[in-house]
Amino acid sequence: MTTAIDHCVLVLRLAAPLQSWGGPSRYNRRETRPQPTKSGVLGLLAAAEGRDREASLTDLVGLQLGIRVDQPGTLLRDYHTYSDYRGIPLLSAKTNAKGQQTRTTPAKYTGVTQRFYLQDAVFIAALHGPKPLLESLEEAVRNPVYPLSLGRRSCPPVGPVSLGLRSDTELEDAMKNVPWQAGSHRRAQAKGATVSLEATVEDPAGDQLAVDVPDTFDLKSGTRFGRRAVRHLWVTLPTGLAQPDTTSPDTGTTGQSDHDPFALLGW
């Protein structure tokens, strides 16, 4: 006789001066997506547990992921050049019959790389799945085997990553019950008693596809990304500010003097 396994939700706070959440770009131009990817979040969890790159990800891939954008941040481009300190031509992408890389022809002595990051961004990641697995992951995040990073090793998180476990509930409901995690400068921009935050929830009935489900983190075989269906929504949370009085002192009706057409742009 089999018994049903309890489920719960693990809530993570992903905040750092810099984050970078992969994408289809490779080689000398590495872009970032505007929100954390499932591959990136599962990589953080795998590092926390101390899993080898060759280890199976089957249990992690089965977790449902929700992302809430508490502070979108801004895009940063890191532009720099590189060269061989010996003053010899750089290697090309071509190989000879022995499988060895050849030098660039004509000789190229300086290369250019561009890396893109999200700066000053804050996200909430909620994962729904079996309670025993998420309890183990929550403990690992609090006491990680390997250093945690937000997309790249050069992007360590700030503050506590784990916000704890929530009893079995829908991802959407879990994200509605986590207080706004934005920084003080973003909170200072708030105008009213509530704020609307963009969110994405993994949902088989979702109308969009995200191609970010990893099959492995093995460097030898490389990672192939599968698809998952997602649904977009808006989550309304209290800001902690008092509701402004919009009643006109002359007519007693609600006026439009506080209307700010740039509010949605975060200006």
- pTM (two decimals): 0.82
Domain-located, residue 28 = yes
Domain-located, residue 2 = no
| Domain of 90, in residue numbers | 7-265
Helical residues (DSSP H) of 1-63, grouped into ranges:
38-49, 58-61
**Per residue in 141-159, pLDDT tens?**
999 999 999 999 999 999 9
DSSP-derived 3-state class of residue 137: helix
**Alpha-carbon distance 173 to 142, whole Å?**
24
pLDDT, greater one: 180 or 242: 180
Per the listing, tokens 């809530």 go with: 11
**Per residue in 41-79, pLDDT tens?**
999 999 999 999 999 999 999 999 999 999 999 999 998
CATH code, domain with 111: 3.30.70.2660
Domain-located, residue 170 = yes
**Alpha-carbon distance 23 to 32, whole Å?**
6
Confidence grade of residue 258 (pLDDT, cut at 50, 70, 90): low
Domain-located, residue 30 = yes
Domain-located, residue 70 = yes
Joined tokens for residue 63: 């977790």
Domain-located, residue 1 = no
* Structural domains counted in the chain: 1
DSSP-derived 3-state class of residue 211: strand
Residues constituting the chain: 267
Domain-located, residue 138 = yes
Q: Which amino acid is at 153?
A: R
Domain-located, residue 182 = yes
* Amino acid 244: pLDDT: 58
